[in-house]
Structure 1
Amino acid sequence: MTISLSAAPPAHVLPHAVSRLRTARLARSAKPFLARGGMRGERCAACRVMPSHCFCHLRPALDVHAGVCLLMADIEALKPSNTGWLIADVVADTFAFQWARTEVDPALLALLADPQWQPYLVFPGEFVAAERVVTEVLPADPTTGTGKRPLFILLDATWPEARKMFRKSPYLDKLPVLSLQSEQLSRYKLRRSQRDEHFCTSEVAALCLALAGEAHAAQTLEAYLDVFTNHYLKAKQQQPLDLEDAVHLQLSGLRLVE
């Protein structure tokens, strides 16, 4: 099935890092990207669902002090179900780079060396030498300007791809590895892992934000994922939206305290 996007995002929605990476990846494609099991017809360029189910007007505007760096597998930015896109919607300082085994974007290396950031590579601790593993984040204090801002590096890929990316990215070898400890089961319903404890990318980002002391941003990202899932599935099933249901009210309540 060919994905058809409108020519440009709505005027009030500026393209973010994942959107720009997607555009660049499409420009290198010799043929249209085919999404398995997706909906047919036109999609909004800014939220990737059918215009009738567009949720651009629900995009949160938050002041988030932490940053997120997405290293994305080859076609990840092209997938309509990708949730790294949602992180970039919510977290202004989201950076996105295409991962390649044989080369590294110089802009990525510059970001990792930027003294304002403390990078954390987010990955399960059982696959890492114990001396690299951390389970807590030292958040910077935006009111005093002390400390480095946390930058969470997420490998946005399937689990087999992420393990390969981890092994074959020597420029990440010196970074502390943040191993998340959570009893929460994944609620993501679009591309389910065979293991419930495997989170989708935006769920991982929400857990990281919570560790950085940004509880409101974490809760908002979780609620935004639920709204995206709702709109995506309703569009795919050709069902009407209920903007007063639980997921919409949850996000609306969080937006009122932005």
Structure 2
Amino acid sequence: MPHAVSLLRAARLARSVKPFLARGGFKRERCGGCRLSPTHCMCALRPAMTTRAGVCLLMADIETLKPSNTGWLVADVVADTFAFGWARTETDPTLLALLNDPQWQPYVVFPGQYAAPERVVLNVEQPAPSEAQEASVASSSTPPARRPLFILLDGTWAEARKMFGRSPYLDRLPVLSLQSDQVTQYKLRRSGRDDHFCTSEVAALCMCLAGEHLAAQALDAWLGVFTHHYLRAKNQLPIEWEGDAHQRLREVALMLAAP
């Protein structure tokens, strides 16, 4: 079944008046499920899983059309991923309904220095209580913690800053400022900064904060496999099925399958 980013891409393609040609990418036929050459398809390896935390992708206009986009990878892995195209002059009512849904606690994931200090948070609400705790909560007037919903601004850095500053419906929401000493592993687009992460890396950091450590590992491993397949297809090289990327994904798959 197509996920949210796939559906958003199809809608964007339907509005296109000319084909989108990715700069630096290969021009051959692509798989509809993973956007790779059919000879390097990775759909059968997809580590989809259910998480308590969700992800809401606000995507710049042509971001869904870029084969190197990693918001797609987030939707591959995290079942509760929502995706919306961003426009300055109009807002999808479904997005507004999602942000107002009482089951979710939305967080705009963005560097804290660009937000008012009173909006900035470094952590998220605690994970769902155990069954015993739920029974205790049910007999009291204290509502259970809402599920974290991480709003990721998916585009170039300039586009993300524009989305952050020109989306009034985000202004009332807390801004989650990630603190990490990691170095980006993303190799498919050029960046002059090692501390600028791709969208799937940001999602993995968010999942760690929400206590979803297996989901974070799955996202990291899936990015590694995607990067390997993408670059091998671009350079017309065979896949190294026994390499580090696939071995790491197999380890995650075993953990997902464990009772």
- TM-score, with normalisation over the residues of structure 1? 0.93
Residue 75 of structure 1 corresponds to which residue in structure 2? 62
- Tell me how far 1:251 sits from its aligned partner: 0.6
Pair 142,17 (structure 1): closer, same or farther in 2 beyond 3 Å: farther
Pair 139,91 (structure 1): closer, same or farther in 2 beyond 3 Å: farther
Residue 191 of structure 1 corresponds to which residue in structure 2? 189
Q: Indicate conservation of the 8 Å contact 1:69/1:153, yes or no.
A: yes
Aligned residues: 245
Residue 101 of structure 2 aligns with an amino acid whose one-letter code is: D
How many percent of aligned residue pairs carry the same amino acid? Answer: 68
Q: Which has the larger radius of gyration?
A: 2
Partner Cα distance (1:190, 1:242) in 2: 18
Residue 137 of structure 2 corresponds to which residue in structure 1? none
- Tell me how far 1:147 sits from its aligned partner: 1.1
Residue 77 of structure 2 corresponds to which residue in structure 1? 90
Residue 150 of structure 1 corresponds to which residue in structure 2? 148
Partner Cα distance (2:235, 2:126) in 1: 42
Q: Indicate conservation of the 8 Å contact 1:65/1:142, yes or no.
A: no
Residue 176 of structure 1 corresponds to which residue in structure 2? 174
Per-residue CA deviations over 1:70-97 (Å, capped at 9, x if unaligned) read: 0000000000000000000000000000
- Tell me how far 1:222 sits from its aligned partner: 0.4
| Greater RCO (Cα-Cα under 8 Å, separation 6 or more) | 2
Per-residue CA deviations over 1:25-44 (Å, capped at 9, x if unaligned) read: 00000011111010121000
Match among 90, 96, 119 for residue 109 of structure 1: 96
- Tell me how far 1:142 sits from its aligned partner: 6.3
Residue 26 of structure 2 aligns with an amino acid whose one-letter code is: M
- Tell me how far 1:140 sits from its aligned partner: 3.4
- Tell me how far 1:49 sits from its aligned partner: 0.5
Residue 138 of structure 2 corresponds to which residue in structure 1? none
1:1-258 maps to which residues of 2 (within 5 A)? 14-141=1-128, 143-144=130-131, 146-258=144-256
Partner Cα distance (1:159, 1:239) in 2: 31
Residue 32 of structure 2 aligns with an amino acid whose one-letter code is: A
Q: List alignment gaps of at least 5 residues for structure 2.
A: 135-143
Q: List alignment gaps of at least 5 residues for structure 1.
A: 1-13
Residue 66 of structure 1 aligns with an amino acid whose one-letter code is: A
Residue 14 of structure 2 aligns with an amino acid whose one-letter code is: A
More helix by share: 2
Runs of 4+ off more than 2 Å: 142-146
